[in-house]
Amino acid sequence: MQYPEPIAKLIESFMKLPGIGQKTAARLAFFCLDMQEEEVVHFANALISTKRDLHYCSKCGNITESDPCIICSDETRLRSTVLVVENPRDIMSMEKIREYNGLYHVLHGVLSPMEGTGPEDLNIPNLIKRLQEEEINEVIIATNATAEGEATAMYLSRLIKPAGIKVTRLAYGLAVGSDIEYADEMTLFRAIDGRREL
């Protein structure tokens, strides 16, 4: 026996999402069946609208309804600094702390020889073009603290530094509120290495 076609298709769609297996997909699909029709329609419209109305900013690669995006077209922001992130969600995390007031550049991934992702698969050519055309004097590399994020940071640094532009990287160290006892060795090593005078 099979599920009726509509719900079988919905389960299939949920299963295409990352981290969702068959059991979870079935649970979610049955949950949708019990939702208010209005909410289901909202959900469906949001899906379509997200796909159709949102684009990547032609300058920085952030998601946006208008082009260039609101950050790129904000005249109050410092235009001499570019913070490079892996994906648009990282911009949101940065904006939440209200500390950084420069521009952004989204790579849409990291270099990963294992997955066959090279520089040409990322938003790197566009970054180089911006560095040539705009008056940028610092590039802050904020890729994740993973092996791939680190390799991508090193690659970008080697690519950009020869042009005389300052390249910086977010600090490594203990997370605020964390215990030294539970910190991994690499983190402790970096925390000692990056120690600062009080």
Residue 166 main-chain phi, psi, to 5 deg: -70, 130
Q: Using an 8 Å Cβ cutoff, are 191 and 173 in contact? A: yes
Residue 119, preceding peptide bond in cis (omega within 30° of 0): no
Q: Give min distance, CB of 81 to its own copies, in A.
A: 17
Binding segment (CB under 8 A) for its own copies, from list 44-52, 114-122, 151-159, 185-193: 44-52
Q: Using an 8 Å Cβ cutoff, are 145 and 184 in contact? A: no
CA distances 142 to 2, 43, 90, 173, Å, are 48, 33, 9, 14
Q: Does 186 bind its own copies (CB under 8 A)?
A: no
Q: Give min distance, CB of 33 to its own copies, in A.
A: 6
* Residue number with CB closer to its own copies (16 or 196): 16
Q: Using an 8 Å Cβ cutoff, are 81 and 138 in contact? A: yes
Which of 67, 73, 80, 92 touches its own copies (CB under 8 A)? 92
Pick from 120, 123, 118, 119: nearest CA to 108: 123
Residue 48 main-chain phi, psi, to 5 deg: -65, -45
Classify residue 183 as exposed, middle or buried by CB count within 10 Å of its CB (0-12, 13-18, 19+).
Answer: middle
* Residue number with CB closer to its own copies (31 or 182): 31
* Residue number with CB closer to its own copies (10 or 84): 10
Which of 21, 24, 143, 196 touches its own copies (CB under 8 A)? 24
Would you give the binding string for its own copies spanning residues 164-183, x where CB under 8 A is met?
Answer: --------------------
Q: Does 21 bind its own copies (CB under 8 A)?
A: no
Which of 72, 81, 88, 149 touches its own copies (CB under 8 A)? 88
Would you give the binding string for its own copies spanning residues 45-84, x where CB under 8 A is met?
Answer: xxxxxxxxxx--------xxx----xx-------------
Identify the DSSP state of 63: E
Interface with its own copies (CB under 8 A): 1, 3-7, 9-10, 12-13, 16-19, 24, 26-33, 35, 37, 39-54, 63-65, 70-71, 87-89, 91-92, 95-96
